Amino acid sequence: MKTIPKYIFFISVLVFISLGLVSMVARVALVIIAIYIILGACYSIHHINKPLISGITLLLILNTLYFLVSDKEIFGQTIGHTNTFGFYANIFLNLGVFYTTYWMAKTKKLDDNDMLYFFYLMVIASVFRFVHDMTTALETYNTNRTLNIGYLFVSLVPYLIFVKKKYISIPILLLLLFLILSTVKRGAVLVFCLSALYYAKIMYLKPGVKNVIVAVISLVVIVVVGYYLLGNILENNSLFLERFELTKDGFTNGRDTIYSKIWSAWFNSDSIMNLLFGFGFCSSVGFAGNYAHNDWLELLSTAGLLGIMIYVLYYLQFISILNNKTFETDAKHMLILILVASFITSLMSMCYCDVDHVVLTLLLGYIIGKNEIKEIVQWKKKKFLEE
């Protein structure tokens, strides 16, 4: 019976990520997740002075306050009339789940096996969502389209460290590679390649003849299968090659225009209040017709320099915890993968305000909570020896 609450939480996360806000079932899942987030936040508030917890809390409070005091209905030339609740719900879920897994890990309600099983289920759920999104795109536009789900596949890479059996981890890595290439998201492909290279380095480049042989065989398999997958995608999806060719010519899919309009609106503002505290929640839509597709510019338009300072603080706290020597080796590797994926994505797309990154925040909370148990044990041992 004690395991039922955590299963309800993880199933709700799976349902919401798979369906979004488009169905009543997903909305019920959001309510359930919100309850768990509140419970986790009530527990975590006692540890508010610790790195990352304070950074995430400030970022969540900032967005919550701006959402409450800003217009709920906005209009952009690209996205039309929209309600800001959906955007805020993504932020609330993405940041809030940190409290839940932190609380569960620190109270020993979660372990590595739970995270591993969640990863397997998340891979299955993401495949189904990929098929659904791809089918919808073909039916709606009668052609291949880029799919934002590519960043969800990137977020799953750190979980591979939980998979100790290489005959399982390699096929999953190749599956994620195929899915990411199929989404035709250039930023996601870049982040995935960097993450996959780091993962390969820590998992396969180890001393010993046996490890070298395994590494060589694994590399050959990955290269051969990857080459086949890439060739197949290029043959059947002309959009993939077209977008990368356009990238060489400086094509940014309108991002440069969006960035320029948001930056100009802030930089050329005559109001010191706008410069310091921004223009309000989702104000980027009014300036550029669409969301910023860049965390830093989204925060700049929303909360000005205040928002940027809080986000810088968050990443400084993230970097600082990497110096904590109590983290296990695997945990530190996962933290590095999360940091790299989050930061690059924050520059090229959206991270803290994209629900597909919830699996990264969820993992982050678990790692921090689990490590604090270890820190408490070490502290008690030290006190005992001193006595």
Is the pLDDT higher at 380 or at 39?
Answer: 39
What is the predicted pLDDT for the residue at 339?
A: 94
Residue 276: is its pLDDT beyond 80?
A: yes
CA dihedral 50, 56, 58, 64 (to 10 degrees): -150
What is the predicted pLDDT for the residue at 215?
A: 57
% of the chain with per-residue pLDDT over 90: 38
**Taking phi first (over 0 means left), then psi (-120 to 50 degrees means alpha), and beta for anything else, what does residue 107 get?**
alpha
Q: 314 near 94, Cβ under 8 Å?
A: no
Residue 360: is its pLDDT beyond 90?
A: yes
Find where tokens 């919808």 sit: 136
225 contacts: CB under 8 Å, gap ≥ 6: 174
Alpha-helical regions (H) of 107-185: 112-141, 150-155, 166-183
What is the predicted pLDDT for the residue at 55?
A: 93
How many distinct structural domains can be found in the chain? 1
pLDDT digits (tens, 9 = 90+) for 21-65: 566 777 788 888 889 998 888 888 777 778 889 999 999 999 999
What is the predicted pLDDT for the residue at 164?
A: 86
**Taking phi first (over 0 means left), then psi (-120 to 50 degrees means alpha), and beta for anything else, what does residue 328 get?**
beta
218 contacts: CB under 8 Å, gap ≥ 6: 166, 170, 200, 204
pLDDT digits (tens, 9 = 90+) for 306-338: 999 999 999 999 999 988 888 888 999 999 999
Give me the chain's average pLDDT, please: 82
117: number of CA atoms within 13 Å, CB side? 8
Furthest CA-CA distance within the chain: 74
Q: Tell me, what amino acid is at 146?
A: T
Range(s) of the domain holding residue 21: 4-386
Q: Compute the average pLDDT of residues 110-130.
A: 92
